[in-house]
Amino acid sequence: MAELRQKIAVLGAGNIGGSLIGGILKAGLTTAQRVRATTKSHEHAQQLAQRFMIPVTAGGNLAAVQDSDVIIVGVKPTAVAGLIEEIRPGLRPGQILVSLAASVPLPVIEKHAGSPMAVFRAMPNIPVVVEEGATGISYNAVATQADKDVVEQIFRSVGIVCFVEEDMMDAVTALSGSGPAYVYMVIEALIAGGVKMGLSREVSTKLAEQTVLGAAKLVRETGLHPAVLRDQVITPGGVTISAIHELERHGLRAMLISAVETATMHSRKKTGMLTA
Ligand SMILES: NC(=O)c1ccc[n+]([C@@H]2O[C@H](COP(=O)([O-])OP(=O)(O)OC[C@H]3O[C@@H](n4cnc5c(N)ncnc54)[C@H](OP(=O)(O)O)[C@@H]3O)[C@@H](O)[C@H]2O)c1
């Protein structure tokens, strides 16, 4: 990965923001001298500063912005408007502003930012913590291809990146943003199934987690449709088809489709509330 020359400020370096800093530094995308961060509490600021050997301040958002080219806003959605108003005097054309907040639309961010600048919305998910995140990104009309390249590089340091139209961000939130929670339930249930059938919890856990990891890897590496891969492991009259019948009877696929649909609708409602 080519090294970025831009100075990066992560305002609100919590779970996601902190993981991004870790990923950027580990990937060698930039050096610790070109990254800084802010938090709310002094205690957390100290912890991060020690962990990453970068300047971290409790507050001090405006100062961080004045000294940076890429500003990543990692605070909770309800705190985004206030934070952007706070940093507004330090924002200038040529900088790149990236919001991680769910349900805060680009026009709202642009309105608070004031000056015409490249604005991105990124929806990562929690596996960014282990550099296996999935991030959906949309951007405003000011953003150039060069800006897109910078933002893509940042999020690729913690996983994969997909660019989408902004009206698809609620679907991204519902699929990959919330998705780890659905998959955790699947893993949890597989573990319970193994335990019910007499496997130790330890063995069940190891087998279930690796099964999900390995199956996902096979989808990615073969490029085959999951239904094709599924059919490849089904023997006529065999064990797997008896389980598949059970899953179909209980509507596993319909349930997951509905879950993504319901979550998208809920996210749209929240986006509407934050737009108003
Ligand atoms: N978690 C997810 O799976 C996920 C997925 C996609 C997107 N997101 C989005 O990512 C954002 C952050 O989520 P998160 O899970 O990382 O939350 P988090 O761990 O609570 O992080 C928020 C951070 O913001 C800091 N903060 C609050 N007010 C601040 C201020 N005025 N100035 C500077 N820092 C301030 C907090 O500091 P302290 O630590 O000192 O309190 C905390 O470190 C949210 O907008 C969320 O919608 C989250």
Torsion angle, CA of 82/84/87/91, rounded to 10 degrees? -160
Q: Any residues with Cβ below 6 Å from ligand 1, and which? A: 11-17, 38-41, 44, 59, 61, 74-77, 79, 83, 100-102, 123-126, 177
> Over the chain, what is the mean pLDDT?
96
Ligand 1: atom nearest CA of 103 is: 47
pTM: 0.94
Q: For the segment 161-182, what is each residue's pLDDT rounded down to a tens digit?
A: 999 999 999 999 999 999 999 9
What would the CATH number be for the domain defined by 8-171?
A: 3.40.50.720
Question: Residue 188 C-alpha to ligand 1 middle, in angstroms?
Answer: 27
Domain locations in the chain? Answer: 8-171, 179-270
Query: Residue 103 phi/psi, 5° resolution?
Result: 65, 15
Pocket of ligand 1, candidates 100, 108, 158, 182: which has the most ligand atoms within 8 Å of its Cβ, to mutate? 100
The answer to whether the beta carbons of residues 82 and 21 sit under 8 Å apart is: no
Confidence of residue 98 (pLDDT cuts 50, 70, 90): very high
Sign of CA dihedral 60, 61, 67, 72: positive
Which atom of ligand 1 lies closest to the CA of 173?
Answer: 6
Q: What percent of the chain has pLDDT over 70?
A: 99
* pLDDT for res 275: 66
* pLDDT given for residue 276 in this prediction: 56
Convert the pLDDT of each residue in 41-92 to its tens digit: 999 999 999 999 999 999 999 999 998 999 999 999 999 999 999 999 999 9
Q: How far is the CA of 68 from the centre of ligand 1 (A)?
A: 19
SS3 7: coil
- The pLDDT value recorded for residue 127 is 94
Output the residue whose Cα is nearest ligand 1's atom 18.
Answer: 14
Res 271: pLDDT = 84
Between CA 231 and CA 47 the distance in angstroms is 49
Q: What is the mean pLDDT of residues 196-221?
A: 98
Range 193-206 average pLDDT: 98
Is 231's pLDDT higher than 60? yes
CATH number of 179-270: 1.10.3730.10
Q: Among 207, 182, 191, 192, which Cα is nearest to 262's?
A: 182
Place 33 in a pLDDT band, splitting at 50, 70 and 90.
very high
Q: How far is the CA of 100 from the centre of ligand 1 (A)?
A: 9
